[in-house]
C-alpha cells in the first residue's frame, strides 16, 4: 500500500489533463461562476429598477403594441369593404373628371359645364326668389316663394356645416370660385349643387302644376347639375349621391316646418 500511493501520485502528476489550463476547460472555476452569477443578478436588479422607474404609460403602450400590430395585420371585414369602396369611388371620380382642366379629354366643354353648374348655385336662386317675391301680388305665390327662400337658406347652412365637419377634398386640386366662397361651398362632401338641385326639383314638382315634359326636364336638369360637378373635378361620385339624399331630406324638413300664409305675410310686412 505505501508503495502504491507514490505511484498513483506520480501518475496524476504526469497526466496532462490534470494541468490547470486543461482543468479550466472541463471544470469552470468557482470564481468565474460566482462572478457570472453576480453580474446576472446585478443586470436583473438594474432591469427591475428601470422597469419600476419607467412611465406607466410607456409600459401600457409596450403591452398594447402586439395587439395594435395584430389589428393592423388583421383588419375587419367592414374596414376592408369601406377602403375598397373608397378606392373605387376615387378611381371612378378621377376617370369621370373629363373637364377638370384644359388638357383633359373634354377640356373644350369646360365652360359649358361651368355654366350648367351655375344654374344650380345658391346665389342666383336666392336673388331670383327675392325678385319674384317683390313682384308677386298673390298670397299663394308669396307663400310658396317665402318657403322656397327658407329652403334655399337652410340648404346653404346645412351643406356648409356638413362640409366643415367632413372636410373632404375633391378628386382634383381645384380652387373654389367666388360664388362658392360666398355660400361656403369649399369642400367636397356633400355636393352643394346636387343637394340644391334635388331639393328644388322636388319642391317644384310638389308645388307647381307642370306638364309631364317639363317634369322630365326638371329631373334631368337636377341629375345633370349633380354629375357636372364630377365632370368638372370638384366632387366625387359619392359626394353627388349624398347631395341628392340630403336635398331630399331638406325638402322633407321644409314641408314639415312649412310656413302658413299669415306667417309669410307677417314676415313680408316686417321686411
Residues designated catalytic = 193, 235
Count of beta carbons in the 10 Å neighbourhood of residue 128: 13
- Give the burial string for 52-67 (b: 16+ CB within 10 Å, else e): eeeeeeeeeeeeeeee
Q: How far apart are CA 239 and CA 226, in angstroms?
A: 9
Q: How far apart are CA 183 and CA 173, in angstroms?
A: 19
Question: Residue 69 corresponds to which cell in the numbers above?
Answer: 400590430
- The answer to whether 96 and 90 have CB atoms below 8 angstroms apart is no
DSSP output for 112-142: HHHHHHHTT-HHHHHHHHHHHHHH--SHHHH
Q: Is the peptide bond before 190 cis (omega within 30 degrees of 0)?
A: yes
Q: How far apart are CA 215 and CA 263, in angstroms?
A: 30
Count of beta carbons in the 10 Å neighbourhood of residue 151: 25
Q: What phi and psi, each to the nearest 5 degrees, are found at residue 187?
A: -110, 180
Q: How far apart are CA 115 and CA 20, in angstroms?
A: 101
Amino acid at each position: 500500500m505505501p508503495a502504491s500511493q507514490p505511484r498513483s501520485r506520480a501518475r496524476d502528476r504526469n497526466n496532462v489533463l490534470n494541468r490547470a489550463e486543461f482543468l479550466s476547460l472541463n471544470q469552470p472555476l468557482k470564481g468565474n461562476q460566482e462572478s457570472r452569477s453576480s453580474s446576472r443578478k446585478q443586470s436583473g436588479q438594474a432591469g427591475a429598477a428601470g422597469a419600476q422607474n419607467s412611465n406607466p404609460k410607456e409600459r401600457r403602450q409596450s403591452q398594447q403594441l402586439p395587439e395594435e400590430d395584430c389589428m393592423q395585420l388583421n383588419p375587419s371585414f367592414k374596414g376592408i369593404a369601406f377602403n375598397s369602396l373608397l378606392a373605387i369611388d376615387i378611381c371612378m371620380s378621377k376617370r369621370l373628371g373629363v373637364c377638370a382642366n384644359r388638357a383633359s379629354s373634354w377640356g373644350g366643354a369646360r365652360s359649358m359645364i361651368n355654366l350648367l353648374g351655375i344654374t344650380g348655385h345658391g346665389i342666383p336662386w336666392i336673388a331670383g326668389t327675392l325678385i319674384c317675391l317683390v313682384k308677386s301680388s298673390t298670397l299663394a305665390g308669396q307663400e310658396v316663394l317665402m318657403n322656397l327662400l327658407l329652403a334655399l337658406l337652410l340648404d346653404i347652412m346645412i351643406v356648409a356645416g356638413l362640409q366643415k365637419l367632413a372636410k373632404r377634398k375633391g378628386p382634383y386640386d381645384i380652387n373654389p370660385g367666388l360664388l362658392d366662397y360666398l355660400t361656403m361651398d369649399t369642400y367636397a362632401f356633400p355636393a352643394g349643387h346636387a343637394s340644391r338641385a334635388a331639393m328644388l326639383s322636388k319642391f317644384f314638382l310638389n308645388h307647381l302644376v307642370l306638364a309631364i315634359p317639363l317634369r322630365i326636364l326638371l329631373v334631368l336638369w337636377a341629375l345633370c347639375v349633380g354629375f357636372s360637378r364630377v365632370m368638372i373635378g370638384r366632387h366625387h361620385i359619392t359626394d353627388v349621391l349624398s347631395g341628392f339624399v340630403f336635398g331630399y331630406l331638406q325638402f322633407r324638413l321644409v314641408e314639415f316646418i312649412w310656413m302658413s300664409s299669415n306667417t309669410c305675410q307677417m314676415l313680408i310686412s316686417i321686411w
